Structure 1
């Protein structure tokens, strides 16, 4: 799955939308959890590489806000996206069991919901791979 996650990132970075769409269709129909898991680890590794070392009592957290900067409850995110974001935080905090559980939840819905989780993780991973300052993770809010 590492190879597939890397290929998705390469296609996304190259803006090869036709090939990316074909690859995403294949991923959703085969093993989306494995690919989301790889992308989650990529995101967590990129964030950790840009962060100060944590002390024993420190943990990573996230703050979700809308485009106007107003706080939004993480529970207002679509379930798959919320689970993917929580999986990244779990990985950052060294909790592989929670990461795996959240990855499973991220792709547990319909194929469309799994696709949304994959594309969000892919976008976050691609943005983080670009380097520079930590980007804000964009998320879709349900209507």
Structure 2
């Protein structure tokens, strides 16, 4: 290696750009492109790429929640889980990955970056199928949150295997 050579890796698509393209494809109904992108992420050799996209998606979900709710420094966000019948449900009913993604979203909403990062790491530490479940949940949540409604906060879907 010479002193003139740039030691940094070749430029790649940024996490933000990848996430933008993933959301654009999902919004446009280009589900083959979405499936291909999710397969690439789920099959990544390390959890770094999926974790970056999950962090970006969690941030976008948090921004969408704030758009519905408004930003108030004193607000503390919590969740109430209900099953398909509307009965209260235990958070442990959720698969570990989506449960961690939900906790990452709550941490992001409550301005707790270290907890968000821990939960993102947990959410992306499973099998490729587990990571796919996390990404799918986040995409569904973004879609649900993008429906404008000033009167009612939309419920977020969680599904088990």
TM-score normalised per structure 1: 0.91
- Residue 62 in 1 paired to residue 79 in 2? yes
Alignment-derived partner of residue 147 in structure 2: 130
| Two-structure CA RMSD over aligned residues (Å) | 1.4
Residues in 2 aligned to 1:130 and 1:52: alpha-carbon distance in whole angstroms: 15
Q: Which has the larger radius of gyration?
A: 2
For residues 66-96 of structure 1, the C-alpha deviation after alignment (integer angstroms, 9 at most, x for no partner) is 1110011111100000000010000000000
Alignment-derived partner of residue 71 in structure 1: 88
- Residue 100 in 1 paired to residue 117 in 2? yes
Task: Provide structure 1 residue ranges, at least 5 long, that are not aligned to the other structure.
Answer: none
Alignment-derived partner of residue 109 in structure 1: 126
Q: After the TM superposition, which segments of 4 or more aligned residues of structure 1 sit over 4 Å from their partners?
A: none
> How far did residue 55 of structure 1 move?
4.8
Count of aligned residue pairs for this structure pair: 141
TM-score normalised per structure 2: 0.82
> How far did residue 21 of structure 1 move?
0.8
Greater per-residue helix proportion: 1
